[in-house]
Structure 1
Amino acid sequence: MKRQLLAALSTTALLATAVGCASGGPAASKSSAAVDPRTATGSVTVWLMNEAQTTWPELVQQVNDEFAAKYPKVELKLSYQTWTDKIANLDGAIKAGNAPDVVELGNTETMKYILTGALAPVDRSSFENNGTWIKGLADTCTYQDKLYCVPYYAGARVGIYNSQLFQDATGSAEVPKTEDELFAALDKIQAKNKGSAGFSALYLPGPYWYAAMSYVTAYGGAIARFDNAGNWHGTLSDPKSQQGIQHFVDLVKKYNHGDVKANELNQANVLGKGKAAMLYGNGWEVSVALAPITGDPKLKDTVKLAGMPGPNGKPLPSFIGGSDLAVTSKSQSPALAADWIRMFTSAKSQQILVDKDTLPNNLDQLAPLRSKPETAAAANAVPDAWFIPMAPGWGAVEKQNILVNMLNDILKGKSVEDAAKAADAQIDQLINNPS
């Protein structure tokens, strides 16, 4: 995208914010809220994902009580959303002019709403721990040096493995620290289970582009880069990126003895059903592997997490996951909405997440989790994690399955070089245009 268009989009977001502030009346202005919160009136509508309701309801209650004590005349309306329906619901609400004041967004969703002017800029300095926010999360909220959302919590992909299978085949229940040692262990596990049809020592789905791009990152490559002319361009065909893609494909071919065309959505089921010794996934996938229908509850003390060894003697870079909280640009009460987020992301609130082994939004409170067995793998993967290009057309790139199709083509026999060049050409057509 040209710089002029980027500036125009940023201006649109600012104008939208100004309209929201102007139309909100006394409760919406920053000055009136600061004068006497007890006299502020109006309402604040908050959309959170359903994990907040099921996993840390005490955090929600604590913040809502704190907000009500500060703003006794302001009505707080809380709604829980599901990941399946949230985007459609939000797009519909924005179009109808009744968007929530506060919305939780997955960190891959933020750019779309920033570029369309749907989110209001907020003052970074007014939020606790802003100087130690996890960079990968803060970057998903930042555009042209302005902050459009606030980091909420983080996530990272790690090695999830059956420690008993490692113990039986190698004499150790631990995942080795280096990739070469891991391969030696996986070879022993595969040999010991050769009688089990479809068993994969490492279950690495062929179209699993998040894993593939972790290997690309490990070699110094990238999906796309931003050039001096103000444009993004695909860089999968760069030598370092090709090296990472080839490494990933080689692992899929060697260790995945299931359907290599299947994606990663049900990989935890494979581990839970005893058809894999290890996979690369999100920590929450452990619960799927242990559930009665999708896995086996008897594996409770057997399935464990570990940092995933990567090339060149270093850990495999992880994709940074997580959620952010934003004030919508047409909010009638932007100052109140921002204050609710301020309370919800305070150090006091983040500690509730930490106590539940959820990765917080900042490095200070993350530190204890880096040495805790239950969280060490993910917590140590977060600081150096990678993220998708924060480009205006990334949504279209992902929607058209360009990376998935590239990997499938390679597994069907197309060379890495040719498949990467074709993917770059498609990326270049889409990535600079708002999706």
Structure 2
Amino acid sequence: MKNRMLACSTALVSTAALGGCALLPGGPGDRTVTIWLMQDSVSDEFLQTFTEEYEDAHPGIELEVTFQEWTGIVKKVNGALKSDEAPDVIEVGNTQVAQYAESNALLDLTLESMRDLGSDDWLPGLAAPGSINGSQYGIPWYAANRVVIYHKDLYAQAGIEEPAKTRAQWLEDTEKLNTGGNQGIYLSGQDWYTLAGFIWDEGGELAVEEGGGWEGALHTPAAIRGMAFYEQLQALGDGPADADEQTPPQAGVFAKGNVAQIIATPSAATVIEEENPALKGKLGYFPVPGKTAKRPGAVFTGGSDLIIPERARERGAAIEVVKALASERWQTELAKAMNYVPNKTTLASAIGGEEATAAMAAGAAQGRATPNSPQWAAVEADNPIKAYMTAVLQGGDPSRAAKTASAQITVALTS
């Protein structure tokens, strides 16, 4: 095998070389499969091992991988799908598949998903967004989702010996923690991804497809119950009613040491420990509790799917690469390398004894994604869910505020 330097363009960014080209393994082959991955989605070590082993097992195939940044990626992918120079495999956000599929420029991978990839065991939060009108265009690759990150010392001070497994117990514990100058939980008023999980737990939806069109659904009784629980929990801390979890960044607030809990992906722990090294070894993790102890609460599942453009030059070879990346072997390796949740519920054991990732995996089994509408990005662009949450938390009528937000969602999804 020989090393090679990929040709650079200003749009391509390598995780291995700041602003430069990726030095990736491989050797000359009869056919080249071009792959776009997102920046920082895999480690250099994982990519090198996968590339070496795949090329060794597939003589005549060369893998050419370039990294893309998330900023501006939708426009870039849409342009590539229309081009005769489309890459063969593209990593995309799981909630982006619907808008790419709308162009009728994606390869239908339904047969491969059922025959070769064990689609029955896929995480619903990755599989459902990749399925459009019964056809599977996005192949689940990896997932990440929110968990409860807690301060072990504050738990011990409150006499709480183990994390809650039900919402009722969680509220009770959080109330105990919310005393003596400590916040029971820091939950900003506009953390709508967390709210979505509570709404799903109640049997509600953010939006529903009716008669071929989409409508906002925040005004339904189930969705309003989800918001009512959010309001109860949010009151047990000092999170602002009119800001989201990035204003200010909640990891930084937690790092001050007087917050008992936040709801975030485990990656927030790195930021917390960097800002306050005294908290290293004092952080714990558990799945967002459900209504009963039988299963964790629903959570929004983020992550990536793999797609193949219809215009890909090496479609057959691209299918084989996707099958390999989504296989149990490489899913296990990726989970270990990146602390991701694998694409199948049956692979949870691959995580081993990692407390944070195990908590994520437990929640991911109940994971969901945003409504599978190509126009959902328009909702997030000027998000009426955030304004709705603030209105309720500031004393507004929940039913009236929900009806207003639902109407705005409907307009965004039908414009």
Cα deviation, 1:356-391, whole Å, max 9, x if unaligned, reads 442111122124548763433211111222221112
Indicate the larger mover: 373-382 or 90-99: 90-99
Residues of 2 paired with 1:118 and 1:403: CA distance?
31
Match of 1:427 among 390, 409, 414: 409
2:183: which partner in 1? 200
The answer to whether the Cα contact below 8 Å between 1:136 and 1:385 also exists between their aligned partners in 2 is yes
Residues of 2 paired with 1:111 and 1:380: CA distance?
26
Residues of 1 paired with 2:222 and 2:114: CA distance?
38
2:400: which partner in 1? 418
The answer to whether the Cα contact below 8 Å between 2:140 and 2:305 also exists between their aligned partners in 1 is yes
The answer to whether the Cα contact below 8 Å between 1:159 and 1:278 also exists between their aligned partners in 2 is yes
1:385: which partner in 2? 367
Amino acid at match of 2:243: A
How far is 1:78 from its partner?
0.9
Amino acid at match of 1:299: L
Residues of 1 paired with 2:196 and 2:267: CA distance?
21
How far is 1:154 from its partner?
1.7
2:270: which partner in 1? 287
Amino acid at match of 1:406: Y
Cα deviation, 1:82-136, whole Å, max 9, x if unaligned, reads 3234334334444665332211111111111111223221232353333322232
Higher helix residue share: 1
The answer to whether the Cα contact below 8 Å between 1:59 and 1:349 also exists between their aligned partners in 2 is no
Cα deviation, 1:307-338, whole Å, max 9, x if unaligned, reads 22244566321112221111122211111111
The answer to whether the Cα contact below 8 Å between 1:215 and 1:317 also exists between their aligned partners in 2 is yes
Amino acid at match of 1:358: Y
Amino acid at match of 1:378: M
Unaligned runs of 5+ in 1: 1-38
1:334 aligns with 2:315: yes
Change (3 A) 1:414 1:95: farther
1:134: which partner in 2? 123
1:399: which partner in 2? 381
The answer to whether the Cα contact below 8 Å between 1:44 and 1:76 also exists between their aligned partners in 2 is yes
Change (3 A) 1:181 1:52: closer
How far is 1:278 from its partner?
0.2
2:132: which partner in 1? 143
SS in 2 for 1:175: coil
After the TM superposition, which residues 209-358 of structure 1 pair with which residues of structure 2 at under 5 Å, given as runs? 209-227=192-210, 229-252=211-234, 254-265=235-246, 266-291=249-274, 295-311=275-291, 315-356=296-337, 357-358=339-340
Residues of 2 paired with 1:309 and 1:352: CA distance?
29
1:44: which partner in 2? 33
The answer to whether the Cα contact below 8 Å between 1:63 and 1:340 also exists between their aligned partners in 2 is no
The answer to whether the Cα contact below 8 Å between 2:82 and 2:105 also exists between their aligned partners in 1 is no
The CA RMSD measured in Å over matched residues stands at 2.5
Cα deviation, 1:156-192, whole Å, max 9, x if unaligned, reads 2111111111111x22353233333333332232212
Amino acid at match of 2:384: I
Amino acid at match of 2:86: A
1:155: which partner in 2? 144
How far is 1:242 from its partner?
0.9
How far is 1:75 from its partner?
4.0
1:178: which partner in 2? 166
Residues of 2 paired with 1:159 and 1:259: CA distance?
19
Cα deviation, 1:256-291, whole Å, max 9, x if unaligned, reads 314332211311121122242101111222212112
The answer to whether the Cα contact below 8 Å between 1:163 and 1:173 also exists between their aligned partners in 2 is no
Match of 2:85 among 94, 98, 103: 98
How far is 1:305 from its partner?
0.5
Unaligned runs of 5+ in 2: 1-27
Change (3 A) 1:69 1:98: same
Amino acid at match of 1:237: H
How far is 1:398 from its partner?
1.7
Give aligned-pair identity as a percent.
29
Amino acid at match of 2:316: A
Change (3 A) 1:185 1:221: same
1:64: which partner in 2? 51
SS in 1 for 2:40: helix
The answer to whether the Cα contact below 8 Å between 2:83 and 2:311 also exists between their aligned partners in 1 is no
Change (3 A) 1:421 1:342: same
Change (3 A) 1:53 1:372: closer
Residues of 2 paired with 1:374 and 1:206: CA distance?
25
Amino acid at match of 1:184: E
Change (3 A) 1:69 1:367: closer
Change (3 A) 1:344 1:362: same
1:79: which partner in 2? 66
Amino acid at match of 1:216: I
The answer to whether the Cα contact below 8 Å between 2:42 and 2:334 also exists between their aligned partners in 1 is no
SS in 2 for 1:375: helix
1:409 aligns with 2:391: yes
Residues of 2 paired with 1:310 and 1:71: CA distance?
46
The answer to whether the Cα contact below 8 Å between 2:286 and 2:356 also exists between their aligned partners in 1 is no
Cα deviation, 1:39-84, whole Å, max 9, x if unaligned, reads 9834321111223443xx3332233223323554444321112323
